[in-house]
Structure 1
Amino acid sequence: MSSESLYLGVDPGRDKTGAALVAGDGTLVRQAVLPTIRFLEHLRDFLGSDVPAGCILGDGTTSQAMKGQLEEAFPRLPLYQVDEYGSTQEAKKLYWQLYPPRGWKRLLPVSLLDVPSAVDGLAAVVLVQRYLRDKSVK
């Protein structure tokens, strides 16, 4: 996949930060929940040899500190901030789209089901998809 069509999504948090690599058409390439402590080290491992065309950063918790770290570590990478209001709820919906309930759980509305894992990585996907859809940057 061409690195020109990849975007890095970052959903910053106090203890854990969601990271996602998303294609220019909004397709999820990979996502992870990384520790906020030493985030940049974990991020380099997450990215591997992929070089994104831009970074989409949520504007919520610890975003200003994260923005400074990202700008220092990747000075040539365009950085865009997007409104992350409601992104966790959207990430939960995305989780059930990617991993539909199985067995008896498929008989229940997904609104009644708990997501079995942290969705911070999927929230980062949502942020990139919002950017690609709306180009709503700050």
Structure 2
Amino acid sequence: MSLYISIDPGMKKCGLLLADIKSGKVLEAGIASFNKCSDLVSLWNEDYQICKIIIGDGTNCKNIVNQLKKNKLTNINYVNERGSTLRARFRYWEIWPPNFLIRWMPKEILFPPENLDAIVALILLEDFLNYTFDWPDKVSIKIWL
């Protein structure tokens, strides 16, 4: 497997995503508190032998990278995350289309019912690789706080 981790860094929480490049599928996704983010990435690295870590270059990026480096995680790549949260709203509705009644409403006025941090991490990875990933039905957004 060729696995990548993508991180959407935030002040209090981070979006995390584990994806297999060869199959083009998301394996795990969720939201972790700032304190648990690097521990979870380390755990995934032990379990899966990660090839690369992708991280958005915005809010709190440097602090998370410092934590990752303390845990001896390298091969970190930065991605410009400008506009990724807005794009994640649209990507959310592509993955989980709205029901019939609201399907016809403009997507600009629809707000997804869930936190978008994991979807932003997906957007960052897709931007880095210039590739659109599959999100299997069995993969739910977990919360590690």
TM-score exceeds 0.5: yes
Q: TM-score, normalised by structure 1?
A: 0.83
Could you tell me which runs of 5 or more consecutive residues in structure 2 were left unpaired when the two chains were aligned: 132-145
After superposing the two structures, state which structure 1 stretch, 108-117 or 45-54, moved more. 45-54
Q: In the alignment, is the contact (CA less than 8 A) between 1:35 and 1:42 conserved in 2?
A: no
Q: Which residue of 2 aligns with 1:126?
A: 123
Structure 2 CA distance for partners of 1:74 and 1:47, relative to 1, 3 Å: same
Q: Which residue of 2 aligns with 1:54?
A: 52
Q: Residue 47 of structure 1: CA displacement?
A: 6.4
Q: In the alignment, is the contact (CA less than 8 A) between 1:20 and 1:32 conserved in 2?
A: yes
Q: Residue 39 of structure 1: CA displacement?
A: 2.4
Matched, 1:65 2:63: yes
String of CA shifts for 1:15-45, please: whole Å, max 9, x gaps. Answer: 1100001222653222101111232234456
AA of the residue aligned to 1:105: I
Structure 2 CA distance for partners of 1:114 and 1:126, relative to 1, 3 Å: same
After superposing the two structures, state which structure 1 stretch, 110-119 or 24-33, moved more. 24-33
Q: Which residue of 2 aligns with 1:8?
A: 5
Q: TM-score, normalised by structure 2?
A: 0.79
Pairing of 1:16-27 with structure 2 (within 5 A)? 16-24=13-21, 26-27=24-25
Q: In the alignment, is the contact (CA less than 8 A) between 2:51 and 2:75 conserved in 1?
A: yes
Could you tell me which runs of 5 or more consecutive residues in structure 1 were left unpaired when the two chains were aligned: none
SS at match of 1:106: coil
String of CA shifts for 1:49-75, please: whole Å, max 9, x gaps. Answer: 222210001110110111111122133
Q: Between Structure 1 and Structure 2, which shows a larger proportion of helix residues?
A: 1
Q: Which residue of 1 aligns with 2:98?
A: 101
Q: Which residue of 2 aligns with 1:83?
A: 80
Structure 2 Cα separation of the partners of residues 92 and 37 of structure 1: 26
Structure 1 Cα separation of the partners of residues 45 and 108 of structure 2: 33
- Number of matched residues? 130
